[in-house]
Amino acid sequence: MSEPPRPPLRPSLLDPLFAPARGLPGVGPKMAPMIERLLGTPERPARIVDLLFHLPQGGVARRLLGSISEAPPGEPVTLGVTVTGYRPPQAGAGKRPYRVLVEDPTGDITLVFFGMPAPRVEKMLPLGSHRYITGRIDLWDGHRQMVHPSRIVDEAGLAALPAVEPVYGATEGLTSRAISKLAHAALDRLPTLPEWQDPAWLAKNALPTFADALRAEHRPEDAPLPAPDGTTVATPARRRLAYDELLASQLALALIRARSRRGPGRANAGDGQLSGRIEAALPFALTGAQSRAVAEIRADLASDRRMLRLLQGDVGSGKTAVALLAMASAVEAGRQAALMAPTEILARQHLDRLTAMAGPLRIRLLTGRDRAPERRATLADLAEGQVDILVGTHALFQESVAFRDLGLAVVDEQHRFGVHQRLALSAKGEAVDILVMTATPIPRTLALTCFGDMDVSVLDEKPAGRQPIVTRLVSTDRLDEVVAALGRAIASGERIYWICPLVAESEYVDLAAAEDRFADLAQAFGDRVGLIHGKMPGPEKDAAMERFAAGDTRVLVATTVVEVGVDVPEATIMVIEHAERFGLAQLHQLRGRVGRGAKPSTCLLVYRGPLGQVARARLETLRETEDGFRIAEEDLRLRGEGEVLGTRQSGLAAFRLARLESDGDLLEVARDDARLIVERDPGLKSERGKALRVLLYLFERDAAIRLLSAG
């Protein structure tokens, strides 16, 4: 997909906002690098829009006074105090601070000044005077103190203060007050923008314009009300800005969706006979959720619109059977189907399991590892239509792979797939229907932010008869006990996964840890211990997996290669070392490798203490529940959406103004709004459509606009 370079399309109206922030008045050579550090990225300098979108975290009511005894430590407060004593630094004592004692009717604290000449301190705070000081109280060595109050004023100064002063996330050297000044200067550059929201909706929800909302945030008149749980209540201004951002992202997705569905699709479902026979021959009855999903998919396949559907199902919810029946439907219609897995192990496992369930369907495997003659034969059969279902890794979508007539592509376990890859995938055949399966449950809000362009089927029900998994937290001090217990478990015929710690971002370092652990355990249990890791040649990996599946080895020491999808029903014990280093979703996936058979299972989360509060809360969550959706919600709450999605690396939508914890409810509204807009005005040509283009540029969703201009 090579694209010719395009001239910048951004309307000149927005130019003032995309100008460098360091061009603002009052920014000198000292301040410029600090602004870059706070708001710039390696790719681009900090711009005025970045300053405007750097919203204050809260506001301090300046004239609202706190008291020394009740001021919460660590939070900004303004106090009315009397100066009662000086403690100058002792001579020759190096970098000792100047201390000033102050009191109010409720108590006293020490003000601390580093590197400030004594006369200056004494002039600001004359003995016996009454002053209003603002700053954070903290505890140092058991004493309450305030280091460098951010403001010290007298009675007249207090009267002249703004009612509320915004508090920004600052960076070293750049104070909250300096940012506030810059934000004011940036507000002066704000052009008059067309209204892109529906006026009736704004009126109904009593929301301000975009510009007024920014002004209200950066020049607050009321301090935001603290919510009962201590967080800040979203003001109408916040809600407005959050909605603008969410609408921009959902509109971009809706445009992509409209485009990938454009052009006539084809009916890719047959008469149901073949898939009906396959379903009847399954060794189990479908769960209600599976039947629902299959019906939804069949309806999509049968329609002449293109399918773009996400199948979300927790570990073990039975996505494979759903995929098989979907593919069988496509085959009935005379088409071919493809199933893409993220790793070779999984591709092979899919092949085995599909083959076992698929009756007369002709299924073949294609990976990067095939020998040339085999590969040629497979490709020839594929082109002639001698293959019904092709299973494989990314190799499936190489250019040399030509289907006779691909109707359905299923992508397994790929929740980090970006919208652009989805576009590329659908180009592999004529009007290919696409089903994406994710094993990691994604909270509904997040599903919308990255899959807002897709329809969703959810497998929210597990096959009956599953045994619960008992999860325990064990300190690493007790590793010896764990190994001893393992010995007993091996003796009684259990099979065990032992997951090694995530040591670093480097697979090689992780590998060293796995090899060490393997050596230890092999010393204790001999050749009943196997090892598998991502750096092994493919055939060795398969062999290690097979020996474990067959019971030749009883303990499989592994790096996280077994994380997704691997299925050995006889395995009943999962040990995860340094559990505190793994993400919650990842731990849930790993744990899902046991509890797949008829016997009860155990998962030991071995951690190295002491655990911080969040780390402990995460592991506790896992101990308390096996519900992947609950775990995902909790993960989101504890870590924020950027971490959960891995957006840091993948550059997926991370929001600047909206906070999914508090604004998540707006997401669905934005999704529906966006779909309606695209339905009514697909080229964004109406008056509102033009304003919406401005919105897309403002939030840098330019890629979606290019789709528009590409016709």
The contact set with ligand ADP (CB under 6 A) reads 284, 286-287, 290, 313, 315-321, 439, 463, 567, 596
Cα 207 to chain centroid, rounded: 29
**The entry of Mg ion, ligand ADP, none that residue 265 binds, CB within 5 to 8 Å by partner kind:** none
Q: How far is the CB of 502 from ligand ADP (least distance, A)?
A: 22
**The entry of ligand ADP, Mg ion, none that residue 367 binds, CB within 5 to 8 Å by partner kind:** none
**The entry of ligand ADP, Mg ion, none that residue 313 binds, CB within 5 to 8 Å by partner kind:** ligand ADP
Q: How far is the CB of 28 from ligand ADP (least distance, A)?
A: 59
Q: Which residue has the tokens 């067959």?
A: 550
Q: How far is the CB of 300 from ligand ADP (least distance, A)?
A: 19
Choose the stretch contacting Mg ion; rule: CB under 5 A; options: 11-19, 448-456, 493-501, 565-573.
565-573
**The entry of ligand ADP, Mg ion, none that residue 392 binds, CB within 5 to 8 Å by partner kind:** none
**The entry of Mg ion, ligand ADP, none that residue 284 binds, CB within 5 to 8 Å by partner kind:** ligand ADP
Instruction: Tell me the three state secondary structure of residue 184.
Output: helix
Residue nearest to Mg ion (CB): 565
**The entry of Mg ion, ligand ADP, none that residue 321 binds, CB within 5 to 8 Å by partner kind:** ligand ADP
Residues 6 or more apart whose Cβ sits within 8 Å of residue 42? none
Q: Closer CB to ligand ADP, residue 76 or residue 592?
A: 592
Is the alpha carbon torsion for 222, 228, 231, 237 positive or negative? negative
**The entry of ligand ADP, Mg ion, none that residue 318 binds, CB within 5 to 8 Å by partner kind:** ligand ADP
Q: How far is the CB of 34 from ligand ADP (least distance, A)?
A: 49
The Cα-based distances of 301 to 279, 297, 332, 681 in angstroms read 17, 6, 11, 26
Q: Closer CB to ligand ADP, residue 114 or residue 284?
A: 284
Amino acid at 522: A
Q: Which residue has the tokens 């020049």?
A: 219
**The entry of ligand ADP, Mg ion, none that residue 316 binds, CB within 5 to 8 Å by partner kind:** ligand ADP
**The entry of Mg ion, ligand ADP, none that residue 287 binds, CB within 5 to 8 Å by partner kind:** ligand ADP
Q: Closer CB to ligand ADP, residue 562 or residue 698?
A: 562
149 binds Mg ion (CB under 5 A): no
Residue nearest to ligand ADP (CB): 318
Residue 655's φ and ψ, nearest 5 degrees, are -95, 150
Distance between CA atoms of residues 412 and 435, nearest Å: 9
628 binds Mg ion (CB under 5 A): no
Instruction: Tell me the three state secondary structure of residue 73.
Output: coil
Instruction: Tell me the three state secondary structure of residue 566.
Output: coil
The Cα-based distances of 128 to 123, 170, 221 in angstroms read 12, 33, 33
Q: Closer CB to ligand ADP, residue 276 or residue 682?
A: 276
Q: Which of 526, 671, 646 is nearest to 586 (CA)?
A: 646
**The entry of ligand ADP, Mg ion, none that residue 704 binds, CB within 5 to 8 Å by partner kind:** none
The Cα-based distances of 264 to 271, 306, 332, 427, 675 in angstroms read 21, 8, 20, 14, 19
Q: Closer CB to ligand ADP, residue 321 or residue 544?
A: 321
Beta bridge partners of 109: 102
Q: How far is the CB of 466 from ligand ADP (least distance, A)?
A: 8
- Tokens at 692, concatenated: 């919406």
Q: How far is the CB of 628 from Mg ion (least distance, A)?
A: 13
Rounded (5°) CA angle 621-625-630: 75
Rounded (5°) CA angle 14-16-18: 75
Q: Closer CB to Mg ion, residue 56 or residue 565?
A: 565
Name the DSSP letter for residue 440: S
Q: How far is the CB of 284 from Mg ion (least distance, A)?
A: 15
Q: How far is the CB of 467 from ligand ADP (least distance, A)?
A: 12
Q: Where are the alpha helices (DSSP H) in 580-627?
A: 584-591, 613-624
**The entry of Mg ion, ligand ADP, none that residue 88 binds, CB within 5 to 8 Å by partner kind:** none
Q: How far is the CB of 565 from Mg ion (least distance, A)?
A: 4
Query: Would you put residue 465 in left (φ > 0), alpha (ψ -120 to 50) or beta?
Result: left
Q: How far is the CB of 320 from Mg ion (least distance, A)?
A: 5
Name the DSSP letter for residue 460: -
Q: Closer CB to Mg ion, residue 405 or residue 567?
A: 567
**The entry of ligand ADP, Mg ion, none that residue 197 binds, CB within 5 to 8 Å by partner kind:** none
Count the alpha carbons within 13 Å of 388 in the hemisphere toward its beta carbon. Answer: 21
565 binds Mg ion (CB under 5 A): yes
Q: How far is the CB of 329 from Mg ion (least distance, A)?
A: 19
Distance between CA atoms of residues 291 and 310, nearest Å: 15
CB 618 within 8 A of CB 638: yes
Q: Closer CB to ligand ADP, residue 58 or residue 316?
A: 316
Q: Closer CB to ligand ADP, residue 89 or residue 463?
A: 463
Q: Closer CB to ligand ADP, residue 244 or residue 279?
A: 279
CB 47 within 8 A of CB 18: yes
Instruction: Tell me the three state secondary structure of residue 8.
Output: coil
The residue ranges that bind Mg ion (CB under 5 A) are: 565
